[in-house]
């Protein structure tokens, strides 16, 4: 199962503007997942920043995934750039979802010199046959 998270900070004239019309999964805070299943959360950010360096990363309960005890099971993908660097992409890959994951908060963070944007997600356990919302 793959879930796409869209964070669209728009940087113009030194101000960070969040897209008020974003109605995709970014406005939702719960992701349905099956225990023992693989899961990939994707985060994309549109930067519009020419000179500033923009960072994109995932957190698990406020810590970097590699610092958690689940670091061998939940890993960040390498950052990738699309459209000449104006879109950044990073994924959080679950090799298998465990019961502990349903107690955690997963956050995609995008930050640059003018501000940051974050989206926080909780996993909700589903039974086989149910999709995500």
- 18-37 pLDDT tens trace: 333 232 334 458 888 999 99
- The answer, as to whether pTM is greater than 0.75, is no
Q: For the chain, list the domains and their CATH numbers.
A: 2-125 (2.60.40.10)
Who has greater pLDDT, 106 or 27?
A: 106
87 vs 75, more confident: 75
Higher pLDDT, 17 or 38: 38
Percent of the chain with pLDDT over 90: 35
What is the pLDDT, as a whole number, of residue 60?
96
Q: Where are the beta strands (DSSP E) in the chain?
A: 2-7, 9-12, 15-18, 30-33, 39-46, 55-60, 74-76, 80-82, 87-94, 105-112, 115-125
């Amino acid at each position: 199962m793959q879930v796409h998270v869209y964070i669209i900070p728009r940087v113009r004239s030194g101000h960070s503007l969040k897209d008020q019309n974003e109605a995709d999964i970014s406005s939702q805070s719960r992701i349905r997942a099956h225990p023992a299943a693989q899961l990939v959360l994707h985060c994309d950010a549109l930067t519009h920043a020419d000179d500033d360096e923009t960072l994109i990363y995932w957190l698990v309960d406020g810590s970097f995934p590699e610092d958690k005890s689940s670091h061998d099971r939940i890993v960040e993908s390498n950052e990738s750039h699309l459209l000449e660097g104006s879109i950044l992409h990073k994924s959080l890959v679950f090799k298998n979802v465990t019961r502990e994951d349903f107690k955690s908060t997963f956050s995609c963070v995008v930050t640059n010199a003018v501000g940051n944007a974050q989206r926080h997600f909780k996993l909700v356990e589903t039974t086989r046959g149910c999709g995500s919302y």
